[in-house]
Amino acid sequence: MSKIVTLACLLILSASATAADPRPNILYIMSDDHAAHGISAYGGQLAQVAPTPNIDRLAKEGALFTNAFCTNSICAPSRACVLTGQYDHINGAFDLSGRVAPGKQMLAIQMKKAGYQTAMVGKWHLKAEPADFDYYCVLPGQ
């Protein structure tokens, strides 16, 4: 009887050890100054003129947002909204001179709390450094 209990315990423990899937890697790509019809994954009218096969593959193998919108029509305030989770009248980034201070870059902060390493690479355009990210390399002069 004790052999059966021991075997059952081992099976349960091994099943629980292998059943836990590793956390997914998250790659968030944000582009600005274009509409959904500029990316062929959305089936837009520009797909035949200017196809986007690499973005299409990311959309097919990852997540494709079909119900998302931007609360501001210019890049810095819309980027600040994504980073803070706040509308621009709350986060203070109303125009191209907007900034998101360290300690307010909630996307990076929450991802780090969840155990992820974070990086910001490319266009930042929010005046203060992206200091809440583990690593950053942004275009100079922004």
Indicate whether 136 pLDDT > 80.
yes
- Asked which of 37, 68, 99 is the last residue of a domain, the reply is 68
57 and 117 both lie in a single domain: no
The stretches of the chain forming alpha helices (DSSP H) are 2-19, 53-61, 75-84, 88-91, 106-113
Are 37 and 54 part of one and the same domain? Answer: yes
Q: Which residue type is seen at 114? A: A
Is the Cβ–Cβ distance between 123 and 139 less than 8 Å? Answer: yes
Please determine, for residue 137, whether its predicted confidence score (pLDDT) is greater than 90: yes
- Tell whether the torsion through CA atoms of 127, 129, 132 and 137 is positive or negative: positive
Is residue 64 domain-shared with residue 77, that is, in the same domain?
A: no
* Average pLDDT value for residue range 4-12: 43
Do 59 and 85 lie in one domain? The reply is no
Count how many domains the chain has. Answer: 2
Res 65 pLDDT > 90? no
Assigned domain for 81 exists: yes
Structure tokens at 19: 């059943």
pLDDT digits (tens, 9 = 90+) for 14-55: 444 445 668 888 888 887 767 778 888 888 888 888 888 998
Q: What is the tens place of the pLDDT at every residue in 76-113?
A: 898 899 889 999 889 989 888 888 888 888 999 999 99
Shared-domain flag, residues 118 and 79: yes
The whole domain housing 100 covers 73-142
d(C-alpha 130, C-alpha 134), whole Å: 9
The confidence score (pLDDT) of residue 116 equals 95
Instruction: Kindly tell me if the per-residue pLDDT of 115 is higher than 90.
Output: yes
Are residue 57 and residue 98 in the same domain, yes or no? no
If asked whether residues 131 and 81 sit together in one domain, one would say yes
If asked whether residues 79 and 133 sit together in one domain, one would say: yes
**Three-class DSSP category at 54:** helix
Q: For residue 92, is it within any domain?
A: yes
pTM of the complete model beyond 0.95: no
19, exposed or middle or buried, with CB in 10 Å at 0-12, 13-18, 19+?
exposed
Residue 136 sits at φ, ψ, to 5 deg, of -150, 145
pLDDT of residue 120: 92
- pLDDT value, residue 142: 65
Active site residues: 75, 125
